[in-house]
Amino acid sequence: MRAIPTFQWVALTTALAIVPLFCDAAELPKPGASVAAVRAELGAPTAVRNAGGKNQTWEYVGKPSPYETYFLAFSKEGRLKTIRQVISDGTFAQIKSGMTIVQVRALLGTPWRITDWDDDADSDIADMFDYRGHDAGGTYKFHIEFDKRGRVVVAAKVRDIAGNHRGDGELAKSTETMSPKP
């Protein structure tokens, strides 16, 4: 078996690393698109919120990428006004200690995973929400814990160690946490 020269090996591995980025990056609808066109392109939304009058916001979790959540705002005429990717450090920075579950969902949408921790009588934690995201450092989870009253007590950005290989056989360094701001 013949060894692949270093340059060709680097070019091949780079090309293979880039392919998944383009496979997941489906073209999003453009502002002005009709409700029917958006539904035909992206399918049924995860959730629909009425935003006063006949305005609506549609939520798409995990489309087109499993690490993204989009909010699409429609006018009362049924035309797409704006598209916003909400799983970001900027949105996460808005999470404050004491916020309710409803307030968190209004900012970040439907969680990727909900864990009911309330079965432990000794625990002060009731529910935990996890949201999946990705940035230049790789994949991560926004982890939010709620007390028994449904209020935020812990919020952390946790690197996904299993999904973040550095390429030298070592796993990426782990955790970055943020405490909710009072």
Q: Which residue has the tokens 């539904």?
A: 39
Per-residue confidence (pLDDT) for residue 1, from 0 to 100: 45
Per-residue confidence (pLDDT) for residue 116, from 0 to 100: 83
**Residue boundaries of the structural domains of the chain:** 6-85, 89-163
Per-residue confidence (pLDDT) for residue 26, from 0 to 100: 55
Indicate the fold that domain 89-163 takes in CATH: Beta-lactamase Inhibitory Protein; Chain:B, domain 1 (3.30.1450)
Q: Which residue has better confidence, 21 or 42?
A: 42
> For domain 6-85, which CATH number applies: 1.10.3470, 3.30.450, 3.40.50, 3.30.1450?
3.30.1450
pLDDT over threshold 50, residue 53: yes
pTM for this one? 0.71
Q: Is residue 144 a contact partner of residue 103, using CB atoms and an 8 Å limit? A: no
Q: Which residue has better confidence, 67 or 173?
A: 67
